[in-house]
Homo-oligomer: A and B are copies of this chain.
């Protein structure tokens, strides 16, 4: 176990004293005492929240050890001084670490250093009262064994309940640069408004009204404005799982020859329509500050729940085409983006909303401080990224997790239909239907059905599964065209093993936004498509708190300087997170590998040499792989697999003498031919070597183990655990290409059967520590059972190994 805290703010002693006073640890009763033991006892009394009398305090104190021989009750009664050892023995126990198991009572400092917990600056073995105050301050800022700061642990036990209605408490209340839970979560105001967006996507002659669900502190209003976390989630009003499933496309279809063309980008570029011929805005009848609709339970993100107790408002909106809103689903196009930012514009005071859909009674967000952040993962994070690329007023930052930055990179790749991992057959139309929650209300659906059927057919047509090419449909859904508009600071999070939203999405966003443009930070974890806010080993929630306290409350807490630009979870050591200056740096050094019979080598072959494999499998094996993709993947990578031996090429390096730190997008350069006039190739970069590896799905360490504050919502405490058994390999990254898209993804190249062509493919970006003794492997194959179409066609591919190579970027140390 290691503790990785990035969001502890260095704080001057004078400020520590002020903050300790603000949170009532220092008060008239103890701040001037000259006796360390009395001061310590007063701190302990305030933090033993369950003990309501001296007798029960003594009982709790007697249950902790202060030294190897003496319990805390005895120590407090018999000693005058507070030794460093006693302080930290007790501190560790308060943080739920256990003597013998996690540390030795004889020597707590060794454990503190190992676990990476902060030790106060001190002169002697016994602490002065000033040192004790400071030590207590740092203890409050320190993570416990479950990855929660001690002050948040106290909050969960009710420390701040008396602050809720105490008019002497200045709100928001900060500690160590972060906001505290001093707002009663059971007094939240829950409101619904309907924001009028500047478009009419369902063509009913009226501007779309979009439902927004608001939760905000009871204290908020025009005299106490609050920052806003806005999560745009097309899922949160319900989904159509059954009708969505029915639309899933058959992926067992053949690849076909595409007619070559000479298309330029201009031919397929999407341009905003100039004249939208919009209906007139609604005529406002009157304006109010009182809503007419409420709700009981929103579909919430637990990170937002945490901030609800800390004085932030949270707004959820599902957007066009969802239950209770107007419009139709479009899966990522500019109309969706416009509907997403309409909510922000209302929160920023530059757009109208109404109390219901009929009476034209306008309502303002007079409680909003006009500083808005967006949060969420996957489609939710995608819409945050989309909103950022508009430069909309009021959006100060986005915390965008596992987000798409171009929908072509989600459903396509280099002229191929490429499924998000685990969802073969899904496409933009399926997702549109899945999220079209207007279907869930029969009365509403009844009216919109013909419009929706037409729109859905249009998406199916325009997404073009036939060619897999980048076209106008996909260009309209490429947010990266507008990176220059971004004004919001970026806090990006992505899994290096996310094969649903593949890492290229975040890498290209990271690369495309300059350091001079906005502040940007990125956290890369070792998981797949998951949230990391309930992890024990990284203080993500504290990072978000520090970040948002700065961005939305304008507090000068040093968030931007304190947080590393890049935090990467180590893929070798569990619960270890490292800081770096950059990721996917185009200037990174590279290593070049040539191919021989089955070797990745530093030396190029002297003579041309051709290796061939066939894509076609016996029917029973093909059917089995379709049903059991894990088995296919294992056979693909395992050299001795008989079934796959003639159906892919494996090249492996010698065993490495030193660790390699891969950082960026590996590139495969090939001279290759297909014996048909069509063809596709897939690539996997593999770490070969026996090792106990981290799981890519988090395990639940404690169900409901993380309270967002006292008597409020809870999250499951999670962590990536190490597998108990070692594995022989791990896939590092992968890539795909249609042999007719050698030039780019929108124009089609000729492909003559049997002729050799040169091509170059950029694999998905990575950050990967490859251990000495392991081997780097590259697998070249065609059908990818989890991602490509699967025609099981009789196609043979041949490689001129002399003219092929692999270029791997390395992290510049």
- B-side contacts of A280, CB under 8 Å: none
A291 to nearest B CB, angstroms? 8
Asked if A296 and B158 make an inter-chain contact with CB atoms under 8 angstroms apart, the answer reads yes
- B-side contacts of A711, CB under 8 Å: 186, 296-297
Asked if A63 and B105 make an inter-chain contact with CB atoms under 8 angstroms apart, the answer reads no
Q: Complex: how many Å from CA A192 to CA B52?
A: 11
Known contacts A55-B358, A56-B356, A186-B711; is A293 also within 8 Å of B446 by CB? Answer: no
Known contacts A55-B359, A242-B101, A358-B55; is A444 also within 8 Å of B62 by CB? Answer: yes
Asked if A105 and B292 make an inter-chain contact with CB atoms under 8 angstroms apart, the answer reads no
- Residues of chain A from 72 to 115 with CB closer than 8 A to chain B in the complex: 72-73, 93, 98-101, 105
- Residues of chain A from 51 to 76 with CB closer than 8 A to chain B in the complex: 51-53, 55-56, 58-59, 61-65, 71-73
Flag the segment in A435-443, A560-568, A574-582, A691-699 that touches B: A435-443
Is A710 at the interface (CB under 8 A from chain B)?
Answer: yes
Choose among B50, B51, B157, B294 the residue that contacts A50 (Cβ–Cβ < 8 A).
B294
Known contacts A55-B358, A442-B65; is A296 also within 8 Å of B49 by CB? Answer: yes
Is A423 at the interface (CB under 8 A from chain B)?
Answer: no
Is A295 at the interface (CB under 8 A from chain B)?
Answer: yes
Choose among B52, B440, B710, B725 the residue that contacts A98 (Cβ–Cβ < 8 A).
B440
Q: Complex: how many Å from CA A49 to CA B190?
A: 12
A314 to nearest B CB, angstroms? 15
Is A156 at the interface (CB under 8 A from chain B)?
Answer: yes
A163 to nearest B CB, angstroms? 15
Count A-side interface residues using an 8 Å CB cutoff. Answer: 54
- Closest residue of chain B to A72 (Cβ to Cβ) is B443
Asked if B442 and A64 make an inter-chain contact with CB atoms under 8 angstroms apart, the answer reads yes
- B-side contacts of A243, CB under 8 Å: 101
- B-side contacts of A59, CB under 8 Å: 356-358
Asked if B443 and A65 make an inter-chain contact with CB atoms under 8 angstroms apart, the answer reads yes
Asked if B356 and A292 make an inter-chain contact with CB atoms under 8 angstroms apart, the answer reads no
Is A324 at the interface (CB under 8 A from chain B)?
Answer: yes
Is A627 at the interface (CB under 8 A from chain B)?
Answer: yes
Asked if B101 and A56 make an inter-chain contact with CB atoms under 8 angstroms apart, the answer reads no
Is A707 at the interface (CB under 8 A from chain B)?
Answer: yes
Choose among B52, B186, B293 the residue that contacts A52 (Cβ–Cβ < 8 A).
B293
Asked if A296 and B63 make an inter-chain contact with CB atoms under 8 angstroms apart, the answer reads no
- Closest residue of chain B to A92 (Cβ to Cβ) is B442
- Residues of chain A from 177 to 223 with CB closer than 8 A to chain B in the complex: 186, 192
A447 to nearest B CB, angstroms? 9
Q: Complex: how many Å from CA A98 to CA B59?
A: 58
Asked if B156 and A296 make an inter-chain contact with CB atoms under 8 angstroms apart, the answer reads yes
A89 to nearest B CB, angstroms? 8
Q: Complex: how many Å from CA A63 to CA B358?
A: 13
A79 to nearest B CB, angstroms? 15
- Closest residue of chain B to A297 (Cβ to Cβ) is B707
Asked if A294 and B52 make an inter-chain contact with CB atoms under 8 angstroms apart, the answer reads yes
- B-side contacts of A446, CB under 8 Å: 65, 71
Asked if A725 and B627 make an inter-chain contact with CB atoms under 8 angstroms apart, the answer reads yes
Q: Complex: how many Å from CA A280 to CA B446?
A: 78
Asked if B359 and A71 make an inter-chain contact with CB atoms under 8 angstroms apart, the answer reads no
Asked if A356 and B53 make an inter-chain contact with CB atoms under 8 angstroms apart, the answer reads yes
Asked if B58 and A292 make an inter-chain contact with CB atoms under 8 angstroms apart, the answer reads no
- Residues of chain A from 354 to 374 with CB closer than 8 A to chain B in the complex: 355-359
- Closest residue of chain B to A65 (Cβ to Cβ) is B442
A336 to nearest B CB, angstroms? 22
Q: Complex: how many Å from CA A707 to CA B299?
A: 12
Q: Complex: how many Å from CA A240 to CA B226?
A: 44
Interface centre among A63, A72, A99, A296 (most CB of B within 10 A): A296
Choose among B53, B357, B440, B627 the residue that contacts A292 (Cβ–Cβ < 8 A).
B53
Q: Complex: how many Å from CA A425 to CA B324?
A: 57
A399 to nearest B CB, angstroms? 21
Provide the A701-733 mask, 1 if CB < 8 A to any CB of B, else 0. 000000100110000000000000100000000
Asked if B99 and A192 make an inter-chain contact with CB atoms under 8 angstroms apart, the answer reads no
Asked if A442 and B93 make an inter-chain contact with CB atoms under 8 angstroms apart, the answer reads yes
Q: Complex: how many Å from CA A158 to CA B186?
A: 13
A102 to nearest B CB, angstroms? 10
- Closest residue of chain B to A105 (Cβ to Cβ) is B442
A260 to nearest B CB, angstroms? 42
- Residues of chain A from 394 to 453 with CB closer than 8 A to chain B in the complex: 440-444, 446
A686 to nearest B CB, angstroms? 24
- B-side contacts of A93, CB under 8 Å: 442
Asked if B358 and A324 make an inter-chain contact with CB atoms under 8 angstroms apart, the answer reads no
- Closest residue of chain B to A439 (Cβ to Cβ) is B98
A309 to nearest B CB, angstroms? 13
Asked if B442 and A293 make an inter-chain contact with CB atoms under 8 angstroms apart, the answer reads no
- B-side contacts of A99, CB under 8 Å: 442
Q: Complex: how many Å from CA A591 to CA B64?
A: 63
- Residues of chain A from 438 to 490 with CB closer than 8 A to chain B in the complex: 440-444, 446
- B-side contacts of A101, CB under 8 Å: 242-243
Asked if B443 and A292 make an inter-chain contact with CB atoms under 8 angstroms apart, the answer reads no
Interface centre among A62, A192, A442 (most CB of B within 10 A): A442
- B-side contacts of A63, CB under 8 Å: 324, 441-444
- B-side contacts of A359, CB under 8 Å: 55
A255 to nearest B CB, angstroms? 28
Choose among B98, B158, B358 the residue that contacts A442 (Cβ–Cβ < 8 A).
B98
A728 to nearest B CB, angstroms? 15
Provide the A272-307 mask, 1 if CB < 8 A to any CB of B, else 0. 000000000000000000011111110000000000
Q: Complex: how many Å from CA A93 to CA B446?
A: 14
Choose among B56, B105, B158, B292 the residue that contacts A293 (Cβ–Cβ < 8 A).
B56
- B-side contacts of A295, CB under 8 Å: 50
Known contacts A50-B295, A192-B50, A292-B52; is A443 also within 8 Å of B358 by CB? Answer: no
- Closest residue of chain B to A710 (Cβ to Cβ) is B296
- B-side contacts of A443, CB under 8 Å: 61-65, 71-73
Provide the A140-172 mask, 1 if CB < 8 A to any CB of B, else 0. 000000000000000011100000000000000
Interface centre among A56, A61, A73 (most CB of B within 10 A): A56
Q: Complex: how many Å from CA A73 to CA B447?
A: 14
- Closest residue of chain B to A61 (Cβ to Cβ) is B443
- Closest residue of chain B to A53 (Cβ to Cβ) is B292
Q: Complex: how many Å from CA A589 to CA B357?
A: 68
A40 to nearest B CB, angstroms? 16
- Closest residue of chain B to A242 (Cβ to Cβ) is B101
Asked if A358 and B58 make an inter-chain contact with CB atoms under 8 angstroms apart, the answer reads yes
**24 A/B residue pairs, CB under 8 Å, sorted by A:** A49-B296, A51-B293, A52-B291, A52-B293, A53-B292, A53-B293, A56-B292, A56-B355, A59-B356, A59-B358, A62-B443, A63-B324, A63-B442, A64-B443, A65-B442, A71-B443, A71-B446, A98-B442, A99-B442, A101-B243, A105-B442, A296-B707, A297-B707, A627-B725
Chain A residues at the B interface, C-beta cutoff of 8 Å:
49-53, 55-56, 58-59, 61-65, 71-73, 93, 98-101, 105, 156-158, 186, 192, 242-243, 291-297, 324, 355-359, 440-444, 446, 627, 707, 710-711, 725
A-B complex: 3 closest residue pairs judged by Cβ atoms: A71-B443, A63-B441, A65-B442
Q: A50-B192, A63-B442 are in contact. List 18 more A-B contacts (CB 8 A).
A: A49-B294, A50-B293, A50-B296, A51-B292, A53-B293, A55-B359, A59-B356, A63-B444, A64-B441, A64-B443, A65-B443, A71-B446, A98-B442, A105-B442, A186-B186, A296-B707, A296-B711, A297-B707
